[in-house]
Amino acid sequence: MNRLHGRHYIPALRTRDSELKAYEYLPSVVKAGLLPVFELTRSRRSKLNPDGSVMKTVERLIGLTADQPFIADVTSLDSQGNTETAALLDPSGGFNNWCNFVTNQLPPSCIPVVHLTDPFDPAEFLSQCGRLLQHTGGAALRVPTDYTDAAKLAAVLPPVEQRTQGCLVLLIDDGYVKQGEAAASATRCMAIANAFSGKVNLAAPLTSSFPNSVTVPNFGGGDAYGEFRLEEIEVSDEMKVWGLAKARVVHGDFGLIHPLDFEGTVTSWVPRVDVPLAATGYYYRYRRPAGGYSLAAALALKDPKYTPLNCWAHDMVLAAANGHPEGRNPSFWISVRVNYHIIRQAVRLGANLSL
């Protein structure tokens, strides 16, 4: 339970370079209020690492988190997985591969996700959950809002006061939420949450309003400039109002990352600087001949909505605005967006930050 104390925000990140960089440059006071979910992915492939070893990302993750608690999951995205991630999701023997991996490779600060089968197998679930709880003293349940056996899953859990082992964290995954659809998402999330009333210690929805392209209809509104709402905030706030017996409900999201695999192939990238604010965001986007990252960053800083924070992301936007962008690729600017978003949310949620 001590690992849950003071944790007010659950961002779900993948162990890709861009998201790990964003986490790496978070201030320590921000990290102290997080209970991040890290979805293990393959590492970057190279001649010396042709398969993209998962252990390379695990080693980097452990170095970045130090003794901070985190939730460990495994990616289900085809684009981020390999044979190792597939093996960790193999349900054989009550997810024996995953349980062994948690026991042998992950630190005591880790809270592992208990993987689910469809259809739900109560005996398999209880075996896996008990094994993980015995080793780590905590476990997380990541339940999609379209998981039809959620009620059956909740039914096999004892009430909090009768549980003899550790803590349980409920993650309610509703994925991508389009602009204006937060209320519907919150309703779906609460339908799942209500089934677990009195059964878990901490709960959070996981949603993201960020699309696979800012040019999709009804998102930002323009090619060179756009504004958008952070629908994930409304989802979390609605859940907090409804509440959940025996559990503290906290904000959760995907770190302003699109949660799904992209469909189709992205053939070109237009340099773009995204600026997340407390409940909204905006972007400037210019092709390289028209000014690229430097112009986008300069206009982002001049925008009257811009509110600076003393952090790495602000420094990167400022450097680009001054004509010296430290990164000229999408991955780098994803890191900037995620870093800024997590810090903004930490401030919004009441973190005592001197930024």
Q: Does the pLDDT at position 51 exceed 90?
A: no
For residue range 174-225, list pLDDT tens digits in order.
999 999 999 999 999 999 999 999 999 999 999 999 999 998 988 977 889 9
For 51, the token pair is: 């398969």
C-alpha span between 36 and 7 (Å, rounded): 9
DSSP 73: E
- Identify the pLDDT of residue 294: 97
- Identify the pLDDT of residue 90: 96
Q: Is the Cα dihedral 11, 17, 22, 24 positive or negative?
A: positive
Which segments of 145-214 are extended strands (E)? 167-176, 202-208
Are 140 and 111 contacting, i.e. CB atoms less than 8 angstroms apart?
yes
- Identify the pLDDT of residue 43: 85
Q: Beta strand 225-229 with 202-208: parallel, antiparallel or unpaired?
A: unpaired
DSSP 222: -
Average per-residue pLDDT in the chain? Answer: 93
Q: Of all residues in the chain, what percent are helix, strand and coil, respectively (each to 5)?
A: 40, 20, 40
Are 139 and 129 contacting, i.e. CB atoms less than 8 angstroms apart?
yes
- Identify the pLDDT of residue 351: 62
- Identify the pLDDT of residue 165: 80
List of residues 6+ apart from 352 with CB closer than 8 A: 29
List of residues 6+ apart from 39 with CB closer than 8 A: 12, 13, 14, 15, 73, 74, 75, 80
Taking the model in full, what pTM does it have? 0.95
For 223, the token pair is: 């090619």
Domain ranges in the chain are 2-212+227-263
Which segments of 230-348 are extended strands (E)? 248-249, 251-253, 272-276, 280-285
Residue 88, Cβ neighbours under 10 Å: how many? 21
Confidence of residue 1 (pLDDT cuts 50, 70, 90): low
Q: Does the pLDDT at position 352 exceed 70?
A: no
Confidence of residue 50 (pLDDT cuts 50, 70, 90): confident
For residue range 72-103, list pLDDT tens digits in order.
999 998 888 899 999 999 999 999 999 999 99
C-alpha span between 290 and 272 (Å, rounded): 12
Are 297 and 321 contacting, i.e. CB atoms less than 8 angstroms apart?
yes
Helices (H) and strands (E) in the chain, counts: 12, 12
54-65 and 17-24 helices, crossing angle to 10°: 10
C-alpha span between 300 and 282 (Å, rounded): 8
Q: Is the Cα dihedral 196, 202, 208, 209 positive or negative?
A: positive
What mean pLDDT is predicted for residues 48-77?
91
Beta bridge partners of 39: 14, 73
Confidence of residue 38 (pLDDT cuts 50, 70, 90): very high
For residue range 260-317, list pLDDT tens digits in order.
986 544 557 899 999 999 999 999 999 998 999 999 999 999 999 999 999 999 999 9
For residue range 100-152, list pLDDT tens digits in order.
999 999 999 999 999 999 999 999 999 999 999 999 999 999 999 999 999 99
Correct CATH for 2-212+227-263 of 3.90.930, 3.30.160, 3.20.20, 1.10.10 = 3.20.20
Amino acid at 76: S
Stretch (H or E) spanning 103: helix 92-105
Q: Does the pLDDT at position 244 exceed 80?
A: yes
